[in-house]
Amino acid sequence: MSAVFSRRELLGAATTSPWTKDFRHLKSFPRHWLKRSNIRGDPVLKSVRPADRIKYWNIVPGDQIRVLGDKTRTLREVLSINRISNRVFVRGTPNVKVKPGKVPQSKNFHYSRCQLFVGNYEFPADVGSTEPRILPVYAQRVGTMKPYWNRRCHRYEWTRFATRTVPKIPYLADEKITIPWPRPDKPTPAEPGAYDTQADVVSEVTYKPPQFPVSLRGPLPRPPPEQKFLRALTLPEGDFAEFEDAPVEVFLSKELANPHSRAKKQARWQAYTLFTKTLLQDYNAAELRSLNGRTPREAKAEAAWKWRAKLEELKKEQRKQRWKHKASVAKVERKNTRKARKELKKRERLTAMVLEDAPNQVAPKNIQL
């Protein structure tokens, strides 16, 4: 069975990305990967059955949740998620003593034990009080709109909302409360260091185009005579303005450009596609002009056959042209010359060969000895 991902990828399946870009986490993998080897320190791969994995995750990194069964009812922030094991990792638990020099361990809980934090809402006052209460509200049941594929961002997107909350909001009993997705923090630019380029150096203009025209249609500039250059060297205040050469990329732009770049390959492919379509249209028009007792369908079929034969002929010519480069042609010419020289020497040896007199020798009548 060919695995969709490697065992190393499964060991690091926890991600901090909130977006769903594919469904690779729903694929299966070999069962023997779950067995722990005898090597000391080998990590254990934890996973649930592919049928029990969640396709669209409504709890993503950056959300605030509470854990069912937690007596402290602490509001926690999601740090990362593992779509293979259906585990949600939260940030380090507060009020936990950590040894100096060690990173606080982040706890993880099953997806089914997590409740999304909807927000703080106003509730009626208690008996004997006049001030309203502000209580945190959590989603007991989450619904979603139909997911769609965002072509620009290359990910699946949908809207999530709470259909049932705890505690229940009296004035929003029959309404769906939309739960916004967490927004990632914008990275703050780092302070420039010793290896960073200053802004004034970046904005400095260092490329100066040549004084003469560099158009391909215009005449090439003539180099100044050697005597004039030597005379400028001997003068105390020599003028070297006319001896300044143009940048090399101005004249070698075509030679230095990559002919196999994506844009050029795409342009060649588009030109070839347009050529084949135009060629097929020409064949169809030529066959439809002279039907000669055929139906238009038969004429188009014959035009398509001629078109395919022409394309195959052009491909053969192109392959032959690619094969006939200078090195191959020179090699073939050397082989032909060597074969001709061997054949000539063979004929010369046969011509100069003389047989000794021996019995039972008969010379043909038409040969003069």
Residue 80, classed as helix, strand or coil, is: strand
Q: In the predicted model, what is the mean pLDDT of residues 103-124?
A: 87
Are the C-beta atoms of 288 and 301 separated by less than 8 Å?
no
| Residues 114-124 pLDDT 10s | 999 999 998 88
Cβ neighbors of 21 (< 8 A, separation 6 or more) are 154, 155, 156
| Residues 40-58 pLDDT 10s | 666 778 889 999 999 999 9
- Among 62-66, 217-221, 287-291, 364-368, the minimum mean pLDDT is found in 217-221
Helix pair 296-323, 262-289: axis angle to 10 deg: 140
Are the C-beta atoms of 307 and 279 separated by less than 8 Å?
yes
CA 327 centroid distance within chain: 36
Q: Please report the pLDDT score of residue 1 as a whole number.
A: 41
In angstroms, the CA 281 to CA 253 distance is 37
Are the C-beta atoms of 19 and 155 separated by less than 8 Å?
yes
| Residues 193-231 pLDDT 10s | 889 988 889 999 887 766 666 566 766 666 667 777 677
Angle at 320 between CA 315 and CA 325, to 5 degrees: 135
Q: Please report the pLDDT score of residue 2 as a whole number.
A: 47
Cβ neighbors of 85 (< 8 A, separation 6 or more) are 13, 46, 47, 48
Question: Domain limits of the chain?
Answer: 7-178, 209-253, 263-323
| Average pLDDT of every residue of the chain | 84
Cβ neighbors of 15 (< 8 A, separation 6 or more) are 61, 80, 81, 82, 83
Q: In the predicted model, what is the mean pLDDT of residues 231-235?
A: 72
Cβ neighbors of 294 (< 8 A, separation 6 or more) are 302
The pairing of strands 177-178 and 160-166 is: antiparallel
- Among 35-39, 261-265, 352-356, the minimum mean pLDDT is found in 35-39
Residue entry with tokens 């959300």: 63
If you count them, how many residues does the chain have?
A: 369
Q: Please report the pLDDT score of residue 368 as a whole number.
A: 66
Q: In the predicted model, what is the mean pLDDT of residues 231-245?
A: 63
The closest alpha carbon to 25, from 41, 267, 271, 17, belongs to 17
In angstroms, the CA 24 to CA 20 distance is 10
Whether pLDDT at 19 is above 80: yes
In angstroms, the CA 334 to CA 355 distance is 35
Q: Please report the pLDDT score of residue 171 as a whole number.
A: 86
